[in-house]
Structure 1
């Protein structure tokens, strides 16, 4: 009993342009509920944004600046679950049945008249606040369960907490082995406009489509998590910056070609991608690595979107092609060879030979096993400088 007595009273937001109506309602609920009062719908909406302790809304319909209908629309359209799920009771006066029906369709939970008695009002408030508290407790339980699980039940991707845990392990391993780990932040361009034009339902379909694309495009060792309604993170262990940039450009081009149809209207989508790397960027933690990628995605979005941004600014295909021709990862070549991807590797053989040439020269000079060094030197652009040329990569 003492614990219940120490619990704070549930708070009711009363929104009505009549000071007398607000005062009469406060008199009826004082001692059983905390309360906050506002004189119009706009002020009531601002109160909801800044005050997370509000459990229920009592609102009039006819008010200046923003009426009760507008307030209801904002509440039910909010992306914040604590606001979206709030019980709303409409204070009705002389409105006809059509006004009540409109309020009900917009999401009103109940109606009271301005002359309601204390017992009836308190009973309705008790019922709806208990419902709200149960929903909040359920949501908190779901969030706690999601934090313990590696998989987000909504997106089917990794949870953010699991991605951070896995990322710290991979970062520590990369540092021990002098390897690399790359991060990418993928953001859907103009998401707010998409919501305003087509609604939350269509915007969520677009998000789910991108989620499925990412899940199928990445490697098994990569980790993908959804950080926000329009934002995804990818962690790629053992992946150099240039490889991340190449993947990001392929994804960007794929999304450019994607067209979704909704009610005979074609919806085109683009993404902006921020890229960071543990070896080229000054980071200490995975959070730092992801944070840099977020900043770069934001700068790309501010520049107009539909681009890939790295540490040196916008990444273009020419940059990636030039570096891929200059460097090759022997580890990656061997891994692909073990997978039987010989046909795909044929085009890279000249670069592989040029990369391995210093090692082959050393082997031949020490073992004299007949490696045709002179024939292989033609693949090395620095061959004219003799056997002291540096390996590329």
Structure 2
């Protein structure tokens, strides 16, 4: 009796469109991506638009901005205004030089998903594929005097932030009032979160925030409560902590992060943070939301480190 042998075929490679009028850039894109996806090429935005309409299997677009016939800005606007959702929702990764700041802002306004710096590396392009096609979170490594960070555990709740932070503040205030203990609220702001998100995409900014959280989780006591209270801000409830103790902790964290840099793919960026401290009156009629609003006021708009209060 003949035996049937089941074989498992590899899933088809995902189709990616690479748009650039430079033959050299197209060659580099092909060299780095050819074995990672089903790559198709276009020399300008008009040719790319025709391919997008013809080929329903295209799942991601890399595009230059400065091209003849139809440039990258018009291509982005055309894709984002398309009546077909499949086309309108395509990730669009803009390949551009760091000197083109105004062009990047225009591309973001038009609907660009993220940016790839020129000159790009294989890691830049393949990393973008993993993030935007496979949904992976980029690996980022915080370079400080210490090496590895523990896994993120015991930090999450089914109550969303900042509501969970508000709940924990109410609980902490009640406990510290009963026990007549000191309490402090410390806040750590990533200064360049918005710029990182604009230049490299939200995934990279989030990777840096995640690694900053690992660092804080390692440095804080188990009793302290760490919360992500806004995109660029961590807030920590320092249980049983008096003013001198809170200020000493800030000094220690500043020293630990001095000169720290974040490395991912072939890029390395300085980690720029500011600290603020609140010493709330536990008996005052001030809501947790009002306290958080006041915390944002600790960080002025000039970019200087605000005075610790």
Give 1 or 2: higher helix fraction. Answer: 1
State TM-score, norm by structure 1.
0.39
Higher CA-based Rg: 1
* Structure ranking higher on relative contact order (CA contacts 8 Å, 6+ apart): 2
